[in-house]
Amino acid sequence: MSGADPAQVAFSPDGAMVVITQRGTDSIGTYEVRADGAFGAPRMIASQGPTPYGFAFTSGGTLVVTEAFRAEKGAAAASSYVIVDGSLDPRTGSVGNGRSEICWAVVTPDDRYAFTTNFADGAVSRYAIAADGSLSLEDATAGIAVDGMTGLRDEDLSSDGRFLYVIDADHGRIYGWSVGERARWSRSGLGRACRRRWPGSRRAEAGVRCDSSRFTP
């Protein structure tokens, strides 16, 4: 579609749907994925808020979508949707977090929280996801890289949900946080975190070895 300006594409957890956020048209497109792998006809719904951007699914199929609100300062928000009869159905509309230029979302393995990155001001926000798929803001500044500094982009959680990593490509940085418990950093802790993020002792694509065995006292 001309002018769609898509931001993210991903399958639903059951593989039966492909979702595409379209910033240019403030809409969310879906395709049914047929048994033979072919796509069905596209379906379009209006995003709950403007500039739908990154998104993440819970294991049960609740979709959390960030909304950048055309980069308006302090207007970042997120909405949730549930899948009903093969279509997205809005559940909670545009929950603002007071931050700016929200980008990406991840959902914790227990499906209870979503973390979003806010590009314009260095904050990671935490939303709670209820069992019925409704969304509420719990902490607009659950994590701060450098307050007020631009740069936070994509993010990911370790598979056990204990560590959150966010890339700041503008400044060549990766921020690491411990989720849910007070961190006690140690060299071995760094090694474990690195191995989770970058399996193996060699991260070939970055030319980096990241392994606690490489530490020398």
Partner 1 sequence: MRLEPLYTVTFTTPEAWSVEVATGAGIEGRSSCWPRAAPLDIVAATTGRPTHCWSM
Residues that bind partner 1 (CB under 8 A): 113, 115, 124, 126, 138-139, 142-143, 145, 163-164, 171-183, 185, 187, 189-190, 193, 206-209, 214-217
Structure token pair of residue 31: 């395709």
Structure token pair of residue 17: 């749907």
Rg of the chain's alpha carbons, rounded to an integer?
18
Structure token pair of residue 58: 């819970």
Nearest to partner 1 of 13, 189 (CB atom): 189
For residue 28, the minimal CB distance to partner 1 (Å) is 28
d(CA 170, CA 173): 8
d(CA 104, CA 119): 9
Nearest to partner 1 of 19, 124 (CB atom): 124
**Residue 91 near residue 132 (C-beta atoms within 8 A):** yes
Structure token pair of residue 189: 């802790």
Residues paired with residue 92 on neighbouring β-strands, in sequence order? 80
Structure token pair of residue 183: 């961190």
Nearest to partner 1 of 21, 125 (CB atom): 125
Nearest to partner 1 of 55, 163 (CB atom): 163
For residue 210, the minimal CB distance to partner 1 (Å) is 9
Nearest to partner 1 of 73, 214 (CB atom): 214
